Structure formats: structure tokens, C-alpha cells
Chain A
Amino acid sequence: MPYLLILPGFIFYALFVLVPIADTVRLSFLEWDGLSPQTWVGLDNYLQVLTDPNTWTSLRVSLVFVVFGCVLPVTLALLLVGIIARTRIRGLSFFRFVFFLPYTIALAVVAIAWRWLYSLDGSLNAIIEAVLGPDLVRPFLGDAGLALPALGVVALWATFGFVVVMLLSGTQHIPKELYEAARIDGAGPVREFFTVTLPGIRHELRVSLVMTLTLSLRIFDLPLMATQGGPGYATTTPSLMMYRDVFVNGQIGPGAAIAVLLTLVIFIGVGLVNRLVRSE
């Protein structure tokens, strides 16, 4: 009986996730353009990818996205939760709705909204001009130095609310007596946060770190739609490189090698998070 129940789901999972992963690994050892016969080239694709400076640039871009899309939102959300966990907030469900809204929107839509904000005659530059003067007006996404942090802020915007909602739902399981006990012990807000709130939401913290880390490392929609990876390679992520290699240039082997390496990086990252933040 249990096997029958699992069977349909497992067939789909195996055929369209497990088998393709194995196949990606196989393709990464081949030279193939999608049409002519495949030739085994061993580690050549990996060698080619790892000696290509653009690969290392894209890894650096990825790490910047990890800072903006994972580290910063989690830090800010912890701060926010620390501030409001000890008070009763009216209208909290309204704030939760607003915070979570960006996460529900397709990154493709997000990219369009922010392209407008960041454009030379867009609203952000209008505000900057009004407050700080015309010298600081910039085409954010067209500037080689600013494009990446500018997209990073978008990633922060997109993931922050998700983390807040996750962590807030964690605080709701913390017994109120713990806070009272901490206060009787004379704990200030900071000690209260580290002794009561943080241990209480460890599980939610771990889940949000894993989810935002994965999203940041594999981010594709945002750079494709907002900057096409440019200017130059300034915002080209590994996913975008893989997409171009395989589906634009017909370089399947190197593209598959990037996909394998990216998956490995994600697995290692998630492993680190799980070591860092133990649930129990």
C-alpha cells in the first residue's frame, strides 16, 4: 500500500528531477553541440570553465547576491523581529501582508518595476535630485560599478518580507512566560533577544537561510530581465552563463559543467547553514 501511494509522485520526481541530474553530470563530460555525435572529453569542460575568468566573475556576482539576498535580509529581519517581539503590535497581519507581497511577485515583474525606478529619468533619481542635488543622479543599471549592488537591493527587497514572515511565525511559538522570566532576571532587550527570541526561532531561521541562500546562488530571472547580465559581465550569474552557453551558443558540455558546479556550491552552502544553525 505505501509503495502504491508513493509510486505516481516518485515516477514524476525520478523522471524529471533525478534522472536529468544524472544526465547533466554525464553531459558535463562530453563535447556536444546538440546535433552531432557526442564525444567523451573527460574533465576538459571543467578545466575550460574553471580557467575562464568569467566563471570566477560570475561566482563573485553570486556571492554579492548571497550578501544582499540572504545575509542582509536575514540580519535585518532578525533586527526587526528583535524590536517587535517584545511588544504587542496592532495591525500586525496588515504588515505581514505588505512585507510578504514582494515574494509572491515573479522576479520578471520585479525586474521591470525596478528598471523603471533605477532609470535615468525614473523615480529614484527624481528623489535623489530633489534631496541630494543633481550631481548624484545616475543610470544605476548602466553603471558598471553600481549595477550589481543596485540589483542586490532588488534581491533584498524581494526576499526580506519572506524572511520576516517566517521569523515572526517562529516567535509566536515562544511561550510568553519566557519573556517575563527574562525580565524578572533583569535582562535588557539585547540579552532578551539572545537568550529567548533567537533560540526560539532557530528552526525558522535555518529554513529561511536555506531558502534565500538557494535563491541567491541560482538567481536568473532578475539579471536576465533587468540587465541581461551587463554592463559587460558585471551582473552575469552562473545560471545566466549556463543559459547562454547551452541555449544561445550551443556549448552544452561547458554549460552542463557550470550547472554541476553551481549545484555543488548550493549543496555545500546548505550544508554549512545546517551545521551553523542546528535545529535542536
Chain B
Amino acid sequence: MISRRSNTMSYVVLLLFAAFAIYPFISTTLVAFNPPDASVSGLAWPSQWSLDSFVSAWENPDAGIGRSLLNSVLLSGVVVSVSVFFSILTGYAFGTMRFRGSSLLFPLFVLGLIVPYEATVIPLYYQFRAFDLIDTYWSMMLPCIGGSMAFGTYWMTSFFKSFPRELLEAARTDGSNRWQTLWRVVVPTASSPIFALATILFIWTWNNLLLAVVMISQPELRMVPAALNFFVGLQYGSNYQITCAAAIMVALPVMIVYYLLQRRYGADVLAGSLKG
């Protein structure tokens, strides 16, 4: 029997962990709503609520938050759409077809899951420099797409493996070839895993700091994590308000995307469909 006491204990434990998870968000938000010239300390409950810190973070011409948000949206948009498209193709091949070399190629892709960007960033930087591509969008986009292929392939393959064979057979007897089957039969039913993959790749691309600080030095091309790095470099102990306001503006797009996704598919769609 489940006693009422153990049920209460579950809730107490859950609430404690939830408080731990949410506390930094509240604290950062409170600081950011203080005006930039106020002296903040302690819990930093604003004596007057103000959006001025957001405004000055936004308007700082050297940080260029607005421009870097645009850069990051553009980068993530391209990286996510290209990677998802390619991953659907590789996943379809590995998941539904048998061919020579697949038992070798697939593990090669999976290996990429644990290869850190640290292992590739040095030669990438010097190669791009040789082609004069440092400080261009290419130097971010190409490595991010390459780096997304391991996870994308792994993810889509596990989806296609679980796709009912009969439907594929049925489509084939209806006279459609494999390419048509993919786009008319399979993809329309795969919106959930495809959407989840897009979200994960979006989070990873948006948050990538190492590539952003190595490949881009021109302020106009900076991605958002690097723009944040600029604020951190500026302040030491002073003006937490503006830095926190900038941090919130950078985090908000990702939080919104995640919120919409979990409203539609449930929170564990990100982690829950991981198989293999």
C-alpha cells in the first residue's frame, strides 16, 4: 500500500528540487528589473521596478545585443534546417535499408556523439583562416552542421527503425518509389521526433560559445553567447543589472521554444525519445 505519508514526502522532495532549479532564474530576474544606477544587494527586490537595465543592455553599441540576436537566429535557422534535412536522409537510409558498409558507417556516425568540439576546433580555425573564412557566417555554420550530423543521424535512425514495415511495403506496392515514400508517407507521421530534433539542435547551436569566440571577432557578426561574454568582460562586481538583463534577453528565445515544444509534445520528448 502507498501510504499518504510517502505521497506527501514525494511532493516535499519534488518541491525542494524545483525550488533549487528555479531560484537562480528568480534571482537574476529580480536584479535585472532594478534600474542600472541603483545599488543592488541581497535578494535585490527592486524598490522601483524598471526596464532601464534592459534598455541600456539593448542599446549598448559595443555589445550589439540586437544584432547578435539576429545573427544567432540566422545561424540557428540555417544550421537546424540543413541538419534536420540531411539527418532525415541519413536516418531513412540507416533505419529502413540494408546495404553494404552500413554496419561500418553507422558506428562511425555514432562515434561523433562523444567527440567534443575541442577535438576539432583548432584545425577548423586554421583551415578557415587559410580560405579567408574567419569572421564570416560560414565559419560557424559549416562546423555546426557537421557537428549536428552525429546526433541527427542517430536520432532519426532510431525513429525510422521503429517505423512500421507494413506501411513502407504498402507504399511500395502503391507504386511510389523510395524518395516519394519518404516525403509522402514517412515524414508526415514523423513531426514529433523531427520537431524534437530541431529543438535540441537549436539549443545546442544557440548556446555554442567555444566556436563563437574562436571563429568570430568582428562585433557585427557576434553570436549571442559571445555578446554576453562582452558584458562579463566589462563589469567586475559592478552593474549586475545590465549583465543580468542581457542574460535574460539571450535566454528567453530558447526558453520560449522549449516551452512551446513541451506544451505540444510533453516535457520528456527531448529526452524520452533517446534510444539505442
A218 to chain B, nearest CB (A): 4
Is B247 a contact of A109 with CB atoms below 8 Å? yes
Alpha-carbon distance A116/B247, docked complex (angstroms): 12
Question: Quick one: which of B153-211 are within 8 Å of A by CB?
Answer: 153, 178, 203, 206-207, 209-210
Q: A15-B146, A105-B251, A114-B24 are in contact. Are A239 and B18 (CB under 8 A)?
A: no
Is A106 a contact of B150 with CB atoms below 8 Å? no
Is B41 a contact of A121 with CB atoms below 8 Å? yes
CB contacts (< 8 Å) of A225 on chain B: these are 209, 228-229, 232
Q: A20-B124, A266-B116 are in contact. Are A98 and B22 (CB under 8 A)?
A: yes
Q: A117-B24, A121-B42, A160-B21 are in contact. Are A106 and B225 (CB under 8 A)?
A: yes
Alpha-carbon distance A263/B250, docked complex (angstroms): 30
Secondary structure class of chain B's binding surface, majority of residues? helix
Q: A74 on the interface (CB 8 Å rule)?
A: no
Q: B137 on the interface (CB 8 Å rule)?
A: no
Is B146 a contact of A17 with CB atoms below 8 Å? yes
Contact partner of A9 (CB less than 8 A), chosen from B149, B224, B232, B271, is B149
Q: A6-B105, A9-B86 are in contact. Are A263 and B119 (CB under 8 A)?
A: yes
Contact partner of A93 (CB less than 8 A), chosen from B7, B28, B267, is B267
Is A108 a contact of B207 with CB atoms below 8 Å? yes
Is A2 a contact of B99 with CB atoms below 8 Å? yes
Alpha-carbon distance A19/B21, docked complex (angstroms): 40
Is A101 a contact of B258 with CB atoms below 8 Å? yes
Q: A8 on the interface (CB 8 Å rule)?
A: yes
Alpha-carbon distance A34/B130, docked complex (angstroms): 10
Q: A87-B2, A220-B210, A255-B122 are in contact. Are A112 and B114 (CB under 8 A)?
A: no
Is A112 a contact of B247 with CB atoms below 8 Å? yes
B97 to chain A, nearest CB (A): 5
Alpha-carbon distance A56/B213, docked complex (angstroms): 26
CB contacts (< 8 Å) of A20 on chain B: these are 119-124, 127
| 0/1 string, A90-105, CB within 8 A of B gives 1 | 0001011111111011
Contact partner of B268 (CB less than 8 A), chosen from A16, A168, A243, is A168
Nearest-neighbor residue (CB-CB) of A111 within chain B: B232
Nearest-neighbor residue (CB-CB) of A14 within chain B: B146
Is A84 a contact of B149 with CB atoms below 8 Å? no
Q: B143 on the interface (CB 8 Å rule)?
A: yes
Q: A2-B97, A123-B43, A225-B228 are in contact. Are A12 and B21 (CB under 8 A)?
A: no
Question: Quick one: which of B100-149 are within 8 Å of A by CB?
Answer: 102, 105, 108-109, 112, 114-127, 142-143, 145-147, 149
A-B contact count (CB 8 A): 288
Is B24 a contact of A24 with CB atoms below 8 Å? no
| 0/1 string, B253-276, CB within 8 A of A gives 1 | 011001100100011101110110
In this complex, how many residues of chain B approach chain A with their Cβ under 8 Å: the count is: 96
Question: Quick one: which of A145-162 are within 8 Å of B by CB?
Answer: 157, 160-162
Is A16 a contact of B178 with CB atoms below 8 Å? no
Is B268 a contact of A96 with CB atoms below 8 Å? yes
Q: B93 on the interface (CB 8 Å rule)?
A: yes
Q: A83 on the interface (CB 8 Å rule)?
A: yes
Nearest-neighbor residue (CB-CB) of A99 within chain B: B21
A111 to chain B, nearest CB (A): 8
Alpha-carbon distance A115/B262, docked complex (angstroms): 29
Q: A12-B149, A161-B21 are in contact. Are A113 and B247 (CB under 8 A)?
A: yes
Alpha-carbon distance A1/B178, docked complex (angstroms): 9
Q: A50 on the interface (CB 8 Å rule)?
A: no
B144 to chain A, nearest CB (A): 8
Alpha-carbon distance A20/B153, docked complex (angstroms): 19
Question: Quick one: which of A173-187 are within 8 Å of B by CB?
Answer: none
CB contacts (< 8 Å) of A108 on chain B: these are 207, 209, 225, 228-229, 247, 250
Contact partner of A13 (CB less than 8 A), chosen from B40, B42, B109, B251, is B109
27 contacts between A and B (CB under 8 A): A2-B93, A10-B105, A13-B146, A27-B123, A83-B6, A83-B10, A84-B10, A93-B266, A96-B268, A97-B259, A100-B262, A100-B267, A105-B254, A108-B228, A112-B28, A116-B27, A116-B31, A117-B27, A119-B237, A123-B43, A126-B41, A189-B6, A252-B122, A256-B122, A259-B122, A266-B116, A270-B114
Closest 3 CB pairs of A and B: A16-B146, A126-B42, A23-B123
